[in-house]
Homo-oligomer: A and B are copies of this chain.
């Protein structure tokens, strides 16, 4: 059989993938980091035993976290990514010509370093001149920003380890202050099959702060249950009211303007988490 990587997505269920080669396995100051070359998914970044991204399916997450808010905002110029050290969200943000500067704040420089080395198709855009990369605590960075950003994207790990503060109401209040008066925020908020309580709580925490709060989904095969949620908090702009002419041509493999709207149509048991 050789080496197989198994992620226990719950105590009693998981995924398993054949590993051709362990490229990196180390403990950073913040988390365990592995880079695995897998037969099915290409190179795979694993943090604290959880799949973060793979070369084969990364486009879904990165396109959906970026393009839904960036097409909802009529003219996004300044964008902040908290986490996301693999660079995939930045790559998608740069497809929007209105963006003048994209800042990435990741607490763990090792994620950036090894993504550049082993995930070049994902991390390559981190060297773009429009991009500023900071190795810093996202929570603290947000806390000292005011009316600075059009869009903030939280591309964090799960609410354990270094990301625990990024799932708190205090953080969402900080994000609201860091956004301009018509700013939009999106966070990845896990899956409804195993983490229904988390989605319910985050949604209502965000709703307490943002006038327009919406949940949308995407299929990510290497993430638990394959059904991933994103929570959007927006001060003014409604993602369901984007005008057709706003959708400029960009290259994607998952996102389409039609899917932009459809991704907000939730399965009934997921919709109930937002009520």
Interface segment, one of A71-79, A104-112, A263-271: A263-271
A55 interface residue (CB < 8 Å to B): no
Tell me how far the C-beta of A261 lies from the nearest C-beta in chain B, rounded to whole angstroms.
Answer: 7
Across the two chains, which residue of chain B brings its CB closest to A220? B226
Across the two chains, which residue of chain B brings its CB closest to A258? B265
Contact for A12 among B12, B17, B271, CB less than 8 A: B17
For A29-40 the 0/1 string (1 means CB < 8 A from B) is 000000000111
A237 interface residue (CB < 8 Å to B): no
Across the two chains, which residue of chain B brings its CB closest to A2? B12
B268 & A253 in contact (Cβ 8 Å cutoff): yes
Chain B residues, Cβ within 8 Å of A255: 267-268
A60 to B263, CA, bound (A): 17
A193 interface residue (CB < 8 Å to B): yes
For A186-224 the 0/1 string (1 means CB < 8 A from B) is 000000010000000000000000000000010111000
Chain B residues, Cβ within 8 Å of A217: 219
Question: A6-B16, A15-B15 are known contacts; what are 6 more A-B pairs with Cβ within 8 Å?
Answer: A14-B15, A14-B16, A14-B17, A60-B267, A219-B219, A262-B263
